[in-house]
């Protein structure tokens, strides 16, 4: 059976991209990374992808008159490589409504909080400032609303009394690198279905939690 082709969008180092590339090396992994695209020509993650033998492309967004024209160029590149799933991995660019509509139920993102808590930026500091006892990461389908698409799965970590934004971010990131490849596997295996704001995962008993709670 042909593997699902995944296109990854990055803006920086792409650590979640690297985790997906590593996962895809396994012979039994049902997806392959077909292309990595960035809106930053000097993004560190592009070289990581190139060194792994993966096609890359850069579309500096300042060269486009508006968001939708940029999004259409990126989409054309993804489609050129036969992409069936788009995975955002530190892609620091708000997309026009056209893009998630065009890729509806075929575009996912990983966010470093337990959505719907703490959307947007500086989320680890948001959690600390709010006195949260737990935080974590969320993989969700992308919609036109920022960090608000249907939640697929989450992983929780403790917020420790002496945490800084950096120490909390590092603890969360370790779980991001575990959770994202798992969700991409589920998608590639055809196990995800979306009904409104809810996502079901085939093979998971109804009512079972999709919150992973690893050791600190």
Q: Which residues are catalytic?
A: 111
Rounded to 5 degrees, what angle do the CA atoms 21, 98, 115 make?
60
* Cβ-Cβ contacts under 8 Å for 208 (sequence gap 6 or more): none
Distance CA 82, CA 154 (A): 28
Distance CA 91, CA 88 (A): 6
Where b means 16+ CB within 10 Å and e means fewer, 35-47 reads: bbbbbbeebebbe
Summary count for the chain: helices (H), strands (E):
6, 10
Longest Cα–Cα distance of the chain, Å, equals 49
- Give the three-class secondary structure for 180: helix
């Amino acid at each position: 059976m042909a593997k699902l082709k995944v296109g990854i969008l990055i803006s920086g180092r792409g650590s979640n991209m690297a985790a997906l590339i590593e996962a895809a090396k396994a012979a039994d992994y049902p997806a392959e990374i077909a292309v990595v695209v960035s809106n930053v020509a000097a993004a560190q993650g592009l070289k990581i992808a190139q060194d792994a033998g993966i096609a890359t492309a850069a579309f500096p967004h300042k060269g486009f008159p508006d968001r939708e024209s940029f999004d259409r160029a990126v989409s054309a590149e993804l489609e050129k490589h036969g992409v069936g799933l788009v995975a955002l991995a530190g892609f620091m660019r708000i997309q026009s409504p056209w893009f998630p509509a065009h890729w509806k139920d075929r575009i996912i993102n990983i966010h470093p909080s337990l959505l719907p808590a703490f959307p947007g930026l500086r989320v680890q500091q948001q959690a600390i400032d709010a006195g949260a006892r737990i935080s974590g990461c969320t993989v969700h389908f992308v919609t036109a609303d920022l960090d608000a698409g249907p939640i697929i799965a989450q992983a929780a970590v403790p917020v420790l009394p002496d945490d800084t934004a950096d120490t909390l971010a590092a603890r969360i990131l370790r779980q991001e690198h575990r959770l994202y490849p798992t969700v991409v596997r589920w998608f590639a295996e055809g196990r995800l279905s979306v009904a409104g704001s809810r996502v079901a995962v085939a093979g998971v008993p109804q009512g079972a939690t999709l919150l992973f709670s690893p050791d600190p």
